[in-house]
Structure 1
Amino acid sequence: MSNVIQLSEARVGDRGVITHVGGGRMGEHDSELERRLLELGFVEGAQVHLIHQGIVRRDPIALRVDDMTVALRRREAANLTIQLNGPFAEAAE
């Protein structure tokens, strides 16, 4: 199994590097969402760490992106692809 996943599939404690921005399931709003994600620092090569998730349907999620904390809905996180690293990468393989 590959250790490349959509950020929306990540679990609390997962760490990784963003490998692709865009191409999620938001339909006609893809380009606007992609622009906003890039403005927030979700760029290829950025380090991410999922630190918290909501109680209801695990939404929203809180992430460390490089040196800042950001909250996203999982449907927005589906527009980001990450390569897992750290202790949880081996479990995905």
Structure 2
Amino acid sequence: MTAAIEIDRMLPGQTALIVAIDRLGLDPQTARRLHELGFDDGVDVEVIHRAPFGGDPLAVRVGNMVVALRRSMAALIEVELNGEGTGP
């Protein structure tokens, strides 16, 4: 079993499985929007790109979409990394 980390700590090219979302750390509208975009427990995600100078925002693939997430929001989504990949 792999230790859970937050999406904002992932590197480009890494894939992971969502294990928990801290919905209490989000306002209800934002929590609902994340759900509508496909961010739910058990969903695979991949970090595609991190912006330079602090990495905000992150481009994250969820399903067939690429979504830009602020680091503060990505820090509320816990994942378990798939495999040993550390990026391309």
TM over 0.5: yes
Which residue identity does 1:56 align to in structure 2? F
Match among 40, 48, 53 for residue 51 of structure 1: 48
Structure 1: unaligned runs, 5 residues or longer? none
Q: Segments of 4+ in structure 1 off by > 3 A?
A: 29-32
Give how far 1:72 is off.
Answer: 0.4
Separation (CA, whole Å) in 1 of partners of 2:27 and 2:14: 25
Q: Secondary structure at the match of 1:83?
A: strand
Separation (CA, whole Å) in 1 of partners of 2:53 and 2:64: 27
- The answer for the alignment partner of 2:10 in structure 1 is 10
- The answer for the alignment partner of 2:83 in structure 1 is 86
- The answer for the alignment partner of 2:71 in structure 1 is 74
Conserved 8 A contact 1:34-1:79: no
| Seq. identity, % | 36
1:31 is the counterpart of 2:28 = yes
Cα RMSD after superposing both structures:
1.9
Measured against aligned partners, the alpha-carbon deviations of 1:42-92 in whole angstroms (never above 9, x if no partner) come to 011111000101012111100110221111011010111101012337xxx
Structure 2: unaligned runs, 5 residues or longer? none
Separation (CA, whole Å) in 2 of partners of 1:86 and 1:66: 19
